[in-house]
Structure 1
Amino acid sequence: MDDVTITREDGERRGAYRAEVEGHAEAGELTYQKSGDVLVADHTYVPDELRGKGVAAKLVDALIADAREEGTKIRPLCSYVVAAFRRHPEWKDVLA
């Protein structure tokens, strides 16, 4: 799915990635909490009509890219992010 726009809202203690898809009112979301230099990925949500189209994967890809760029680590708590880390052993450099 190429028409996905990922944005990030980064607060002092919490943050979120949002996936806006052209033609769809509801966005996908991946939320996290901050614990020092660790981002605790705690929830991923994709609306029913967008499931199975790679939206959640794009959210996690953005999280991984930012963690590498910023030098932070990720602690996956959300079951989707846990499974994504299992599928991608090359991400171990950002695993907390």
Structure 2
Amino acid sequence: MPDTPEVKHDRDSQKFTLTTAGAESCLEYTLAEGGAMVITHTYVPTAGRGRGLAGQLAEAALGYAQSQQLRVVPQCSYIETYIQRHPEYRPLVTAGR
């Protein structure tokens, strides 16, 4: 089984990244007043699509939001769909789009 790439969190840049075969996938967010994590964009290069990389990024970001008691505002369509498919994260979602 190949090694699973590690998701890295850069708090200063407000993004989660994952590098595979030299290509970077990322999930970007901003922190809003009142403790909300606004997830704005998820990107996986074409060569990495269909391998679950976006899901790894989503899980890391939503897990971080949970651990920091942040509400989530999903402005990214991938994250909206991910949360629909993973109801354990629905309690994190807040309005504010």
Give the superposition deviation at 1:51.
0.2
Percent same amino acid at aligned positions? 26
What amino acid sits opposite 1:75 in the alignment?
A: V
**What does residue 68 of structure 2 align with?**
70
Aligned 1:15-30 pairs, distance under 5 A? 15-21=14-20, 24-30=21-27
* Aligned residue pairs, count: 92
Question: After TM superposition, where is structure 1 displaced by more than 6 Å over at least 4 residues in a row?
Answer: none
Residue 6, structure 1, aligned to residue 7, structure 2:
yes
Query: Quick one: which amino acid aligns to residue 6 of structure 2?
Result: T
Which position in structure 1 is the counterpart of 2:40? 42
Q: Which runs of 5+ in 1 are unaligned?
A: none
- Residue 55 of structure 1 deviates from its aligned partner by 0.2
> Structure 1: how far apart are the matches of 2:54 and 2:30?
18
Paired letter, 1:69 = S
Letter matched to residue 67 of structure 2: E
Tell me how large the CA RMSD over aligned residues is.
1.4
Amino acid at match of 1:15: Q
Do structure 1's residue 61 and structure 2's residue 62 form an aligned pair? no
> Which residue type is aligned with residue 26 of structure 1?
A
Q: Cα distance, 1:3 vs. partner?
A: 2.1
Question: Which stretch of the first structure deviates more once superposed, 84-93 or 44-53?
Answer: 84-93
Amino acid at match of 1:18: T
Q: CA–CA distance in 2 between the matches of 1:2 and 1:94?
A: 30
How far apart are the structure 2 equivalents of 1:93 and 1:80? 17
Cα deviations by residue, 1:13-64 (Å, 9 ceiling, x for unpaired): x60000122xx11110000011021010000000111100000000000011
Runs of at least 5 residues in structure 2 that lack an aligned partner in the other structure: none
Shift in CA distance, 2/74, structure 1 to aligned 2, threshold 3 Å? farther
Give the residue type in structure 2 aligned to 1:87.
R
